[in-house]
Amino acid sequence: MNVGFIGLGSMGLPMARNLAKAGHSVTAWNRTRARAEELKGDGARIAERPQEACQGDAVFSMLADDSAVEELFLGPGNLVAALGARTVHISSSTISVELARRLVAAHQAAGRDFISAPVFGRPSAAEAAQLIIAVAGPPQAIARCQPLLDALGRKTVIVGQDPPAANVFKLAGNFLISSTLEALGEAFTLLRKSGVDPRIFYETMTASLFAAPVYKGYGSLILEGKFQPAGFKVLLGLKDVRLVLGAADAVSVPMPFANIVRDHLLTAVARGWQDDDWSSLARVVEENAGL
């Protein structure tokens, strides 16, 4: 398939590379051209303008936040108008539910298909094509794009036909992850301050009651204090938890624990840790306990 890719950050670059490795013809664009140049060796064509990436069978967007997506697709960039007659826009960015609804309306008005397909997984999972992809949109458009999704992840979950449903799904998942970071931070801090080795606890729990990647991976980062290089930065985690709270507010769902996590991530930013991995919110818990 002919596929465009817009946004080549720590997640977008390996995703675009895997599409090329799977035999798809990739046209890539990134605001910083040097990132796009890294795909030349994989056979990708480098677009001079983002509009050039919008003419194939599909175009992925993997951008940092709402403002970046809005600027390119609804604002001055107006990429919705640049989409080819049969080009499906696949948005893999973690964005607000409200923006997803506006994107749906804009694509419908232009007569173009829009799919929300945010992903679960850190950059290492993107590199290994082991992402979990939450997808919502027109069934026929999803079916057409399934070969592309198969090249990126180990599992595609069809959430529904309304694209914003996938964005709610993604935000709920990120809330669970951030809650796990808070819980690990509190548990390890209790153990440390009580004179108990948290490593023994970690090894026991992750081999039995909590034998899951999120506990194993993030638990290890917190134990080692390995917050650099960041797989997912504090600043992005704060952005996502704020999006969770916005989505909850829109449907009158109190989420008190999300507020706690937001405050701890905000504290991490205030202490200058915005570029550390978001698991460093455990360090906020430790400091609050006097460690």
- Domain final residue pick, 108, 133, 161: 161
Residues 145 and 253 in one domain: no
Residues 229 and 104 in one domain: no
- Give the mean model confidence (pLDDT) for residues 69-93: 96
According to DSSP, the β-strands at 119-120 and 131-136 are antiparallel
Residues 118 and 26 in one domain: yes
- Domain final residue pick, 116, 145, 161: 161
Annotated catalytic, 170? yes
Residue 151: half-sphere exposure toward Cβ, Cα within 13 Å: 20
Residues of the domain holding 260:
168-288
Whole-number average pLDDT of the chain: 97
The model's pTM = 0.95
Q: What pLDDT sits at residue 77? A: 86
Q: What pLDDT sits at residue 203? A: 98
Residues 138 and 216 in one domain: no
- Give the mean model confidence (pLDDT) for residues 193-213: 97
- Rounded to 5 degrees, φ, ψ at 135 are -125, 135
**Residue 2 pLDDT exceeds 90:** yes
Q: What pLDDT sits at residue 211? A: 97
Of 21, 170, 226, 233, the active-site residue reads 170
What's the number of domains the chain is made of?
2
Q: Give buried/exposed letters for 248-268 (b at 16+ CB in 10 A, else e).
A: beeeeeebeebebbbebbbbb
Per-residue pLDDT band for 158 (boundaries 50, 70, 90) equals very high
Q: What pLDDT sits at residue 268? A: 98
- CATH number of the domain encompassing residue 283: 1.10.1040.10
